[in-house]
Structure 1
Amino acid sequence: MTKRILLLGLLGLAFLTFVGLGVWQIERLQWKQDLIARVDARIHAAPVAPPETATGDDEYRRIRIAGTYIADADTLTQAVTKLGPGFWVMTPMTSEEGRVILVNRGFIPQDLKDQTAYAAPSGAISVTGLLRLTEPKGGFLRDNDPAAGRWFSRDVVEIARARGLSSVAPFFIDVEAAAKGAANAYPVTGLTVVAFSNHHLQYALTWFAMAALTIVGAIVVTRRGDSDEGSA
């Protein structure tokens, strides 16, 4: 009798735990769906001027800036895209307002690393793209090595320091895809991947299924106890 009560108590505790986890995943699902909707709205909104600073609520916002690229200040950061491995071409731009903003001008394959095919255009230019937050502490399980010119993430602060730039905006811009019919030249733009894993519904159903199993277990324990008492 005591063992049965203890077992039922444990099953009850497990039931509450599984239900709680399931409800938490439902809440996470609602949060994720809201996040996806907000980001989708930013991506398709009309471009705006860059903010003074940026938070998570600004990421993937469409930005338009006008200015001139700083010559011979490109930084190649390692990238893996649908076009294969290569590099992002990060180039600082001085805006018309005098701000320095790092611009990801697009992707180049590895065999173009030492060529001039990706040289930044000279003169005044306007670019539109998605605001991205800085990526500190390296990437690909490797730290950036500015002294050796090896970059594994788009760390705005480190890149600015390595290029001797000051007053750099704490974010960068991913240039959006070129208009249809434009020359297929490097760097290739518009390769920003905007995707969020959303498995919360599956997780919730799994936890609720586990809760249901505890009910089945409690029924089995109760029936066996009744059976044992009846045969005593």
Structure 2
Amino acid sequence: MTSPAAPRSARSLILPGVAALVAFAILIGLGTWQLQRKAWKESLIAQIEAHSHGEPGAIVPPSDWSTWRAQDDEFRRVRVTGTFLHRFEAPVYGLAPAQRGAPVQGYYLMTPLRLPDGAIVMVNRGFVPTELRDPATRPQSQPEGEVTVTGLVRAPEERNPFTPEDDPAGNRWFARDPASIARAHSLEQVAPFYVEADATPNPGEWPKGGQIRLELPNNHLQYAVTWYGIALTLVGVFIAFAWQRLRPPGSGELK
């Protein structure tokens, strides 16, 4: 007669247990991160709602630029008057939503606006498709003299590990960053923010402003529940796995 096989040692669960524990920690971390993103997104939506409506006001004066904070001022509607320095126009690569199909590739035109007191505010005048990157292809798009721009205050665009390096010599830019553009052209007294122009038509119809989308999706709670649910599923799977490993031989057989 052969004796029934002995149950496996609990030591056989060490490696699977460690792997399951690491995976569980990662899943819980992802769920918690989504809850943090949810709180951030709700704060951002509240800020947009509070600042982006009503009559446009003046920008923060240059005397206060050194203490400017995005959380206090971003998305506020403003109106600013000055003269564009078109020779320093910086086309920033980006995508614009299309009516149908895939987004359109092109450039957002960041242009310095010199204020009456000599200070400078960068203005994202709007989007042009790739074939209109060169100002010579849109000669009416650069108005001379004093202009008035209405739009929203925006913080500099944050870079990430996938953002290409700018090429100031070739006038190729990949982030709407007023400070970087100002350094490339030796501009001084430049605002730490920029103004996102609204959809008011420009001469020659280009660039097209008003590209910002203020309706932000907020699905982070759904994502968090999904990650936590996967984590609980992992616990259940590991318990079943451990039971199969450690149960006495023949305990699941019918007699």
Bin for the TM-score computed over the shorter chain: 0.7 to 0.9
Match of 2:52 in 1: 43
Do structure 1's residue 218 and structure 2's residue 239 form an aligned pair? yes
Match of 2:88 in 1: 73
Do structure 1's residue 33 and structure 2's residue 42 form an aligned pair? yes
Do structure 1's residue 207 and structure 2's residue 207 form an aligned pair? no
Q: Match for 1:218: what amino acid? A: I
RMSD: 3.8
Residue pair 2:110, 2:125 contacting (<8 A) in 1 also: yes
Residue pair 2:31, 2:224 contacting (<8 A) in 1 also: yes
| Greater mean alpha carbon deviation, residues 76-85 or residues 213-222 | 213-222
* Corresponding residue SS for 1:64: strand
Query: Once the two structures are superposed, what CA deviation does each residue of 1:72-129 show, in whole Å capped at 9, x if it has no partner?
Result: 4333332321352332222222224442111111222333322312113422x32211
TM-score (ref. length: structure 1): 0.74
Q: Match for 1:79: what amino acid? A: G
Do structure 1's residue 122 and structure 2's residue 145 form an aligned pair? yes
The 1:120–1:22 alpha-carbon spacing in structure 2 relative to 1, beyond 3 Å, is same
The 1:34–1:3 alpha-carbon spacing in structure 2 relative to 1, beyond 3 Å, is same
* Corresponding residue SS for 1:117: helix
Residue pair 2:92, 2:110 contacting (<8 A) in 1 also: yes
Note the C-alpha offset of 1:144: 1.6
Query: Once the two structures are superposed, what CA deviation does each residue of 1:47-91 show, in whole Å capped at 9, x if it has no partner?
Result: 332223343313322222123333543333323213523322222
Unaligned runs of 5+ in 1: none
* Corresponding residue SS for 1:150: coil
- Structure 1 Cα separation of the partners of residues 199 and 52 of structure 2: 12
Residue pair 1:139, 1:152 contacting (<8 A) in 2 also: no
Query: Once the two structures are superposed, what CA deviation does each residue of 1:137-195 show, in whole Å capped at 9, x if it has no partner?
Result: 7997432222222223323123223333211111211101127xx98711211012446
- Structure 2 Cα separation of the partners of residues 65 and 117 of structure 1: 21
Do structure 1's residue 167 and structure 2's residue 174 form an aligned pair? no
Do structure 1's residue 186 and structure 2's residue 206 form an aligned pair? yes
The 1:228–1:202 alpha-carbon spacing in structure 2 relative to 1, beyond 3 Å, is farther
- Could you tell me which of 58, 66, 70 is aligned with 1:56? 70
The 1:27–1:76 alpha-carbon spacing in structure 2 relative to 1, beyond 3 Å, is closer
Unaligned runs of 5+ in 2: 1-6, 99-103
- Structure 2 Cα separation of the partners of residues 145 and 168 of structure 1: 20
Residue pair 2:52, 2:76 contacting (<8 A) in 1 also: yes
- Structure 2 Cα separation of the partners of residues 164 and 201 of structure 1: 46
- Structure 2 Cα separation of the partners of residues 16 and 148 of structure 1: 48
Residue pair 1:62, 1:131 contacting (<8 A) in 2 also: yes
| Greater mean alpha carbon deviation, residues 10-19 or residues 83-92 | 10-19
Q: How does 1:79-90 map to 2 (within 5 A)?
A: 79-82=94-97, 84-90=104-110
TM-score (ref. length: structure 2): 0.68
